[in-house]
Amino acid sequence: MSIAVHQLNKRFGQFTALNNVSLDFPDGELTALLGPSGCGKTTLLRIIAGLEFADSGQVLLDGQDASQQHVRDRQVGFVFQHYALFKHMTIFENIAFGLRVKPKHIRPSEAQIKEKVTSLLELVQLDWLADRYPPQLSGGQRQRIALARALAVEPRVLLLDEPFGALDAKVRKELRRWLRRLHDELHVTSIFVTHDQEEALEVADQIVLMNHGTVEQVGAPADIYQHPATPFVYGFLGNVNLFHGRVHEGVLDAGGVTFAAPAHSDIRDATGTGYVRPHEFDIDRYSPGAEGLLVQLRRAHSIGPLAQLELERDDNGDLLEAIIPSERYQQLKLKVGEVLVLRPRRLHVFVDTH
Ligand code: ATP
């Protein structure tokens, strides 16, 4: 089922939680709602679910206006951060629950329920846990059961609110890959809320990046990562080095160094900032006449295939972070205190708007 929201507004008292939000969630895709705490992700999810109502605007399910529809008529499945499993019921009964409470005329038979629950337990690869109770499961297992329970009623949409938020880093990583594989199998239109950019970039077909109740950018992960539309998006997707300066006819003058900024060739004079990600630098030992920014190596450590360098600009003392392949790091035989030459391979310049 496709989902769209159109010009949604939601206030809590004086506070604007959603400000004119319009979005499309294509049929069968997995969308991540990404953004800092308090930006409105959960509010948007709850409005799509029918657990909350917008002050104005529409929710369209398969093109039909569902804004006033009750949650039970929207056929959505939920998974929340804190496992909402019933402690006193077995895992089997937890998954069967949604089927057992269906109105009598559409309730499946006992045999059908058994078949359905068994196949869901196989789907989430936990069939050996059927007779246990939730407290006897690990956090990761409970979330997989919560997902199986949400899927039992064959929802047309799956909504997940920080489903792996309470789990430790390693389990989180495993589960997000598992979710991706599961989604590839089922193709249920799914929306999941996260504030973890790595999770969104790895798992989603589409990312919606939100900030202060508005949408900053929508796109495929690679698209958003390669072409951030705003400084906020650039900064939110990982560490970034900033070069503040002045933009003048396609050139950013950032103190001791100038960078080409061809996208801004029509700007006469404005303040602007160059953005460079740590792994987007080329690094060499200093040699007379070498072109680039002179920096001093303050610290370096190599973990696995990558080496992380802390660098200090020679001209103004600003600190920069660079990440280079460990192989290159060893080849260069860098020593702390040594002067190096830095050249960004990619630089994105945003001109300040006032
Ligand atoms: P988080 O990642 O921390 O869960 P979020 O992006 O999901 O944040 P929301 O839960 O949507 O953010 O909340 C958006 C803003 O609206 C927050 O500032 C929150 O305090 C406020 N808010 C949410 N629900 C209510 C409510 N029922 N009453 C008052 N304010 C609310």
Fold that domain 241-351 belongs to in CATH: OB fold (Dihydrolipoamide Acetyltransferase, E2P) (2.40.50)
Gap between the Cα atoms of 78 and 153, Å rounded: 11
Ligand 1 centroid vs 147 CA: distance in angstroms?
Answer: 24
Which ipTM score applies to this complex?
0.92
Q: Which of 121, 175, 150, 124 is nearest to 49 (CA)?
A: 150
- Quote the ligand 1 centre to 57 CA distance (angstroms): 19
The rounded distance, in Å, linking the Cα atoms of 192 and 10 is 20
Residue type, 252: L
Residue nearest atom 5 in ligand 1 by C-alpha distance: 38
What's the gap in Å between 2 CA and the centre of ligand 1?
Answer: 25
**Across the chain, which distance is largest between two alpha carbons, in Å?**
85
Amino acid at 33: L
What distance in Å separates the CA atoms of residue 274 and residue 28, rounded to the nearest whole number?
38
pLDDT in tens, the chain (354 residues): 999 999 999 999 999 999 999 999 999 999 999 999 999 999 999 999 999 999 999 999 999 999 988 888 888 888 887 767 899 999 999 999 989 988 888 888 889 999 999 989 988 888 899 999 999 998 888 988 998 998 888 889 999 998 888 778 888 888 888 889 889 988 999 999 998 999 999 999 999 999 999 999 999 999 999 899 999 999 899 899 999 999 999 899 988 788 888 888 888 899 999 999 999 999 999 988 888 899 999 999 988 899 999 999 988 889 999 999 999 988 988 889 999 999 999 889 999 876
Q: Name the residue of 11, 42, 82, 211 to mutate for ligand 1: max ligand atoms within 8 A of Cβ.
A: 42
What is the predicted pLDDT for the residue at 172? 84
| 16 CA to centre of ligand 1 in angstroms | 10
The torsion of the CA quartet 63, 66, 71, 77, rounded to 10 degrees, works out to 10
**Using CA positions, which residue lies closest to atom 1 of ligand 1?**
37
Type and span of the H or E element at 43:
helix 41-49
For residue 314, the 8-state DSSP code is: T
Architecture, CATH, for domain 3-236: 3-Layer(aba) Sandwich (3.40)
Which pLDDT does position 200 carry in this prediction? 95
Domain map (residue ranges) of the chain: 3-236, 241-351
- From ligand 1's centre to the CA of 81, what distance in Å? 15
- Looking at ligand 1, which residue's alpha carbon is closest to its atom 3? 37
Measured from CB, residues less than 6 Å from any atom of ligand 1 are 12, 15, 17, 35, 37-43, 195
